[in-house]
Amino acid sequence: MDPDKEEFLKEFGADYGYPNGPKTIDEIRATEFKRLNGLVYLDHAGATLYSELQMEAVFKDLATNVYGNPHSQSDSSFATYDIVREARQQVLDYFNASPKDYKCIFTSGATAALKLVGEAFPWSHQSCFMYTMENHNSVLGIREYALSQGSAAFAIDIEESMDHEVSRGNLMSVKVSQHQIQKRNEARFFEKEPTGGAYNLFAFPSECNFSGLRFSLDLVKIIKEDSERILEGSPFCSGRWMVLIDAAKGCATQTLDLSKHPADFVVISFYKLFGYPTGLGALIARNDAAKLLKKTYFSGGTVAASIADTDFIKRREEIEELFEDGTTSFLSIASIRHGFKMLNSLTTPSISRHTASLTTYVRKMLLGLKHENGVSVCTLYRSDNVKVVCHGWGPIISFNLRRPDGSWFGYREVEKLASLSQIQLRTGCFCNPGACAKYLGLSHSDLLSNIEAGHVCWDDYDVVNGKPAGAVRVSFGYMSTYEDAKKFIDFVRTSFVSLPNQIGRYHLREKPSSFPDEGPGKLLAGGVCLKSITIYPIKSCAGFSAASWPLSSTGLQYDREWLLKSLTGDILTQKKVPEMCLISTSIDLHQGILFVESPRCKERLQINFKSNICNGSTGEDFHIHGQRYQGRSYNNEVNIWFSQAVGRPCCLLRCSMSSYYLNNSRCVGMCRDVQSRLNFVNEAQFLLISKESVSDLNDRLSSNMKNSALGVAVQVNPMRFRPNLVISGGEPYAEDGWRNLKIGDNCFTSLGGCNRCQMINLVNEGGQMQKSNEPLATLASYRRVKGKILFGILLRYQTADEVEQETNPWLQVGQEIHPNSF
């Protein structure tokens, strides 16, 4: 056995791997999660994974039984009714909730359950919605219902009070720090003092999905029984308090016993518990609380009778039937028993101990990582030094990584490199803005500044004004293993920790202009010349080579002057439609015709530049990467041809005009060349690749494969990178140091390195698109600069108006390259 694992088992062997369960963790992985071979999945807080045996049981159930609509009266409908009834009881049993006290209402997910509470709660001008800062956006959305009904809303931070003399019975004493009260109808605020008859709602998560903090479930009774003391001085200290628990994340690894902690509402999603089904959740509601909800809409299944042409309905009296609009997702409901069977066989306490052992181990290892200068690599986000009302920590670790100089690695850089290492994790704020701001120390002004800089959820703006805008999160599930945790730690160590023998490699990341070992003086030792010219008329489709080609104000004439757009408005690219690379193109300059071919189309398409093929003359406006374009559309015959070629409805557009609408100071990431007129390119007019740089990359690919003994080495040619210009004759990566260059008499300015993505890992083999981790994984090991993996350089053409050169310029293969020459 690996010595590191032996050490791990010495410390955690009693809790790790279900030693007293029906199967060990190794047996579970070998028999129920064979699809995870080579893959490390660490996003169980986002969605845990279903067991293969679980799905086999689901398929067998559906294949051998007939389940009809439960609103019918047939035998198959009665079978469905029984299954749904049993499923409700399983849910209540899981939370130790008596059906005398609680009802299980099935919804489309935890979010739908929260929405149901928000829109049906008995809000009044004397009500308030109080919630902890650590809450999911789906909980915060309830605020809109409260405010729209004239109620108040405010966030709170809760800490354990040091004054234990005021504790009541066995309940701890808490201190509440109240944030600003939000109220939309200010004129009616405090129109009269809140009365004891107003209903208030308090919401908190059983486990914070940002930090893993498990809130004490004693908060249920504390808020219900002691609100006047803990909210002393607040106009909302009185009134009737109801408590909602968001258990979507926490209930998979923490027992929530509603007989001991009688919350009024609990929301869950079943895919967070056992992976399948998605699109199904539940609201577990106390009977007396559910009867206070005021439902407006009625639907099939929720009414006992209605009259179509008069204002009359008689609603059903059973709570579940009253709130489950339409036909429930009964086949999904039938499948949850197989998930509960798996959970119950392992038991929630055992799952909690297993995941806690992995979490503790990874947290300890991350905290121990140091750069060669002694700077800590990892900053963890958890409140160990704060007396929060805490019931431990769930299997979540959120963190950011620092460079040796104290600056931050961007979380998107971590995510991209993790993906190359077959590690799936989550980055950002995880739809929990309050916890994100709290743990990252972001003020309101910081958050507004980030938004003004263009930062929104799921984008690449990971460090704004020197501060992280989010974090990296790893989370563990019942099937996670020590090997998963070890591979993740090894990934962080090899990718982000600067060691004494890696100083040179690290400095390469810091200064892209210093990639080459030799300076520009040696660049022309062998003479550098232009080896090939490639034009890509249609964005993301195959290009063609030419011995010579004219230049224009947008780059190579006709380069990416066309694109394909779906009927829903999406721009089609190889990232979405890899088969686009099978569409070949060529241009006859003398005839002014674009020729297009596809293996899916019998006829070769001809598009005449000057014919009246475009519909209308005004064009269509749209935006790509901060650039405003106007495009001309084509007739139905052309669009049908391309729809057949890509296997989905689309239309062809030709660029007729473009202009930037973002200024340079706000362009982050993709917005690089804001001075030029661009066709449908991502970043710049030209991409230049060096054959010597590709050769060096291939040597490294061969070396990596030889060292790993995994088989045949991956080799790439320059065209894998979709360059416009390929050069030859210099040192590898000499182009990194070029500020500008002349090709013949034509002048170009370097805009820096090209940030590579997963696209270069796609390769067409026999008409099928294949994807691997190379060459991007190898490039990431030595060509990483501030979160970008650079290979090749981007160029902007200096037109005749900007510098003295030919008025009808052409590029020609064989022309000499003169770097840093103007």
Give tens-digit pLDDT for 373-431.
Answer: 999 999 999 866 555 566 789 999 999 999 999 999 999 999 999 999 999 999 999 99
Check residue 538 and give its pLDDT.
Answer: 96
Phi then psi for residue 197, to 5 deg, are: -85, -5
Strands 605-608 and 620-624: unpaired
**Where are any strands of DSSP class E within 385-492?**
390-393, 396-401, 423-424, 426-428, 463-464, 467-468, 471-475
SS3 of 233-263: the string is: CCCCCCCEEEEEEECCCHHHCCCCCCCCCCC
Report the amino acid identity of residue 508. Answer: L
Q: What is the dihedral sign for C-alpha 490, 467, 665, 624?
A: positive
How far is it, in rounded angstroms, from Cα 514 to Cα 626?
Answer: 30
In the structure encoding, which two tokens stand for residue 231, read together?
A: 């909210």
The upper half-sphere exposure of residue 154, i.e. CA atoms within 13 Å in the direction of its Cβ, equals 19
Tokens matching residue 469: 């805008």
Are 84 and 333 within 8 A, CB to CB? Answer: yes
Give the pLDDT score at 504.
Answer: 41
Query: Exactly one of 431, 541, 650, 651 is catalytic; which is it?
Result: 431
Question: What sign does the dihedral 674-676-680-686 (CA atoms) show?
Answer: negative
Peptide bond into 395 cis (omega under 30): no
* Spatial separation of the C-alpha atoms in residues 364 and 353, rounded to whole Å: 16
The rounded distance, in Å, linking the Cα atoms of 412 and 578 is 23
Collect all residues with Cβ–Cβ distance below 8 Å to 665 and sequence separation of at least 6: none
Q: Give the dihedral of Cα atoms 607, 612, 618, 621; nearest 10 deg.
A: -10
pLDDT, tens only, 175-202: 889 999 999 865 454 445 445 679 999 9
Predicted local confidence at residue 175, as pLDDT: 84
Please, are residues 238 and 409 in contact by the beta-carbon 8 Å criterion? no
Is the CB of residue 424 less than 8 Å from the CB of residue 417?
Answer: no
Known catalytic membership, residue 655: no
For 401, phi then psi, to 5°, come to -115, 145
Give the whole-angstrom CA distance, residue 299 versus residue 328: 12
**Other C-beta atoms lying within 10 Å of the C-beta of residue 289:** 22
Determine the pLDDT at residue 456.
Answer: 77
Q: Which residues contact 400 (CB under 8 A, 6 or more apart)?
A: 378, 379, 381, 408, 409, 411, 468, 471, 472
- Report the C-alpha gap between 268 and 248 in whole angstroms: 4
Which pLDDT score is estimated for 515?
39
DSSP for 612-678, written as a single string: S-BS-SS-EEEEETTEEEEEEEB-HHHHHHHHHHHTS-EEEEEEEEEEE-S-GGG--TT----SS--
Residues of the chain predicted below pLDDT 50:
164-167, 187, 189-191, 193-194, 503-525, 612, 617, 660-672, 709
Q: What is the DSSP string of 135-169?
A: --HHHHTHHHHHHHTT-EEEEEEEEE-S-GGG--T
Both tokens of 297, joined, read 């809409």
The amino acid at residue 740 is N
The enclosing H or E element of 13 equals none
pTM for the full predicted model: 0.85
